[in-house]
Structure 1
Amino acid sequence: MRSATTVAVLATATSILADKVSLDSSKRGLCYVKGENAADDAIWDNANGTLTWYYNYQAQPTSGIDDRLQFVPMLWGTNGQNSGFYKTVKGLMDGGRKIEYVLGFNEPDGCSNGGSCINPQVAASMWRTEIEPLKELGVRLGAPAVTGSPQGFTWLENFFAACDGGCTADFIPVHWYGNFEGLASHMGQVNASYPNQTMWITEFGLPQQSAAATTEFFNQSLSYFDRTPFVTHYSWFGAFRADVSNVGPNSALLTSKGQLTNMGASYVGLTEAEAAKASSASSTATIAGWSMFVDTGIALRYLDARLHTFIDL
């Protein structure tokens, strides 16, 4: 699973995203959410180079994710006491792992739905202790990722005011859940507020909408990010199965059986166009509605997606 990936796919006509999304964006990453099925992690290893980085809301990398994906540690939250984040990240670097970026607090202005609920003054103090010193090690620092609400802007302003020049963020992470027009407008506001900063879209989606509406938003957003110079990284919120999705089944990149959806296949770069050029079989990806030969580097298997089963060859 950790070898180079080439997939020979006998695709059905259900691959509707082939020419709508850039296939080789170096900006594209994985917002990893740990699920109950560890085998799902292998799907992200088989991204054929389309995914280049990932984060998991933690300081330590996920053992099931291929090291070829660049890991970005996050200090999710704080209780006002030393978290050991700096020590952990430095330890990873001392151990030979390449750490170029870290992410600050996750939705600190929110106290529900995954928000870390931190006072801006407390966050500023912890940043100076745990995050700012990483700059001396050559690490680029991501500001706290606030929600897409007006209170997010206010929180971030108060945070930087409390820092009093002691928090030197290199880029601004953005979260957005809503339609494309709102996303573009929100990004414009962020860019106007922090014009000298690049932007990472670390969570985005269109929750609880139809498959057609979600697909349209997906296509519009990725295309916009890929052609916007100040956006350097992005990650769709949906790297989990449809039956456990808290943003609706149509936002998930995996079906309830752990297969890539059409949108998921497109996100990791598996399309009809690529399949037509492939000359040999490889990697264990499962794509809803498709059949394929899969070579894990250990054994050749045939996946019949209609039967949802593997056959060892």
Structure 2
Amino acid sequence: MRTTTTFVIAALAAPLALAQTTSSKRGLCYVNSTYSNTDDPIWDGGGSDLTWYYNYGYTPTSGIDGTKLQYIPMLWGPPPSNTDMTFYNNVKSLIASGTQIKYVLGFNEPDGCISGGSCMDAQTAAETWIREIEPLKKEHGILLGAPAVTGSPTGFTWLQNFFTACAGNCSADFIPVHWYGNFEGLASHVGQVNGTYPNMTMWITEYALAEGSLADSQTFYNQSANWFDSLSYVTHYSYFGAFRSDVSNVGPNAAMLTQKGQLTDIGAWYLGQKATGNTPKGGAAQVAKFAGWAAVVLAAMMWVMT
């Protein structure tokens, strides 16, 4: 059911955290870029409080120290055939080589066909899950993350259709959540997800205030991080911003790095460090990059406010 106005007001009234905090819940949503070789050491360095990461694939990132950040494989989208076992076999190989795999993530925004969505129908997703993901739990005790749908109304519908198509054969342990909008919308959306799936924990695997001002982006970060840390059913969260501001597709002020690769205040706070005072600046191509998100964010915001 829809979250109530009372829930949203209570979330907004939660006290803000001091900007410099640490949390074992924080992870890295790794986005590869032309700067990765230079910037990767930032995320697993001695001053980072991050404990886990995912990279939208099922092969660990060579520039990230797996002994510091636990790797979470993801089956991003539909395989090339209905007999393909590539994901399953790769995860099995990682385990055999000594890599500790405690969790895997399902499909990335299968209800979305723009801006990184895997554009996958629920029936195909269910069949693929049963074939490649479910056996990992039965054979190795790996905990499974449900498909990470968009924050728009289509996301809830798609996820309901997915579990229906599974016919009881998809035993997800937690629900990943994506959100790109203000804190009020985030609080409402998270509340609805929790109300719909009360017996599952939640991971916030992508979130940011897209195209916000610097002040609004920083306020959003502090509100959301403080709130996630206070919620027992949110066990993991990963801010979407591990890239430089001039290549950000959610606006320069959401990025954790400046255009020069320096930590912004948000980036430093997320790693458990003091503010840097470094101001992010954007690039000329950002408006075009962000255009794909606009429809999704607008639809989601209109929905949660009704």
TM-score by length of 1: 0.80
More helix by share: 2
Q: How many residues align?
A: 259
> Is the 2:258–2:278 contact (alpha carbons within 8 Å) kept by the matching residues of 1?
no
More strand by share: 1
1:267 has 2:265 as partner: no
The residue number in structure 1 matching 2:53 is: 54
| 1:54 alignment partner, SS class | strand
Distance across 1 between alignment mates of 2:263 and 2:200: 34
The residue number in structure 2 matching 1:90 is: 92
| Letter matched to residue 127 of structure 2 | S
Deviation at 1:155, TM superposition (A): 0.1
1:65 has 2:64 as partner: yes
Deviation at 1:80, TM superposition (A): 5.6
User: Could you tell me which of 149, 153, 167 is aligned with 2:152?
Assistant: 149
> Quick one: structure 1 residues 165 and 250, their matched pair in 2 at CA, closer, same or farther if it must change by over 3 Å?
same
Q: Which fold has the larger relative contact order, with Cα–Cα distance below 8 Å and residues 6 or more apart in sequence?
A: 1
Single out whichever of 80-89 and 204-213 deviates more from structure 2.
80-89
| Letter matched to residue 120 of structure 2 | I
| 1:189 alignment partner, SS class | helix
The residue number in structure 2 matching 1:75 is: 75
> Is the 1:47–1:269 contact (alpha carbons within 8 Å) kept by the matching residues of 2?
no
> Quick one: structure 1 residues 239 and 44, their matched pair in 2 at CA, closer, same or farther if it must change by over 3 Å?
same
> Is the 2:17–2:222 contact (alpha carbons within 8 Å) kept by the matching residues of 1?
no
| Letter matched to residue 91 of structure 2 | V
Distance across 1 between alignment mates of 2:28 and 2:163: 28
| 2:207 alignment partner, SS class | strand
CA RMSD of aligned residues (A): 1.6
Distance across 2 between alignment mates of 1:263 and 1:141: 30
Distance across 2 between alignment mates of 1:47 and 1:54: 16
Deviation at 1:71, TM superposition (A): 0.5
| 1:102 alignment partner, SS class | strand
Structure 2, unpaired ranges of 5+: 1-15, 280-306
Distance across 1 between alignment mates of 2:69 and 2:21: 16
Distance across 2 between alignment mates of 1:260 and 1:93: 34
The residue number in structure 1 matching 2:31 is: 33
| 1:233 alignment partner, SS class | strand
**Overall identity of the aligned pairs, in %:** 61
Deviation at 1:20, TM superposition (A): 1.9
Distance across 2 between alignment mates of 1:119 and 1:184: 28
| 1:141 alignment partner, SS class | strand
Summarize deviations over 1:112-134 as a string: whole Å, max 9, x none.
01000000000000000110000
> Is the 1:28–1:51 contact (alpha carbons within 8 Å) kept by the matching residues of 2?
yes
Distance across 1 between alignment mates of 2:216 and 2:50: 24
Deviation at 1:19, TM superposition (A): 6.1
The residue number in structure 1 matching 2:170 is: 167
1:1-313 equivalences in 2 (<5 Å): 20-21=18-19, 23-37=21-35, 38-46=37-45, 48-67=47-66, 68-79=68-79, 81=81, 82-136=84-138, 137-271=140-274, 289=278
> Is the 2:244–2:257 contact (alpha carbons within 8 Å) kept by the matching residues of 1?
yes
Distance across 2 between alignment mates of 1:127 and 1:197: 18
| Letter matched to residue 55 of structure 1 | Y
> Is the 1:208–1:249 contact (alpha carbons within 8 Å) kept by the matching residues of 2?
yes
Task: Write out the 4+ residue segments of structure 1 that deviate beyond 6 Å after TM superposition.
Answer: none
Distance across 1 between alignment mates of 2:277 and 2:33: 19
Distance across 1 between alignment mates of 2:53 and 2:163: 26
> Is the 1:22–1:226 contact (alpha carbons within 8 Å) kept by the matching residues of 2?
no
| Letter matched to residue 41 of structure 1 | D
Deviation at 1:21, TM superposition (A): 3.8
Summarize deviations over 1:197-220 as a string: whole Å, max 9, x none.
000000001111100000010000
Summarize deviations over 1:253-281 as a string: whole Å, max 9, x none.
00001111111111111227xxxxxxxxx
Decide which structure has the larger Cα Rg and report it.
1
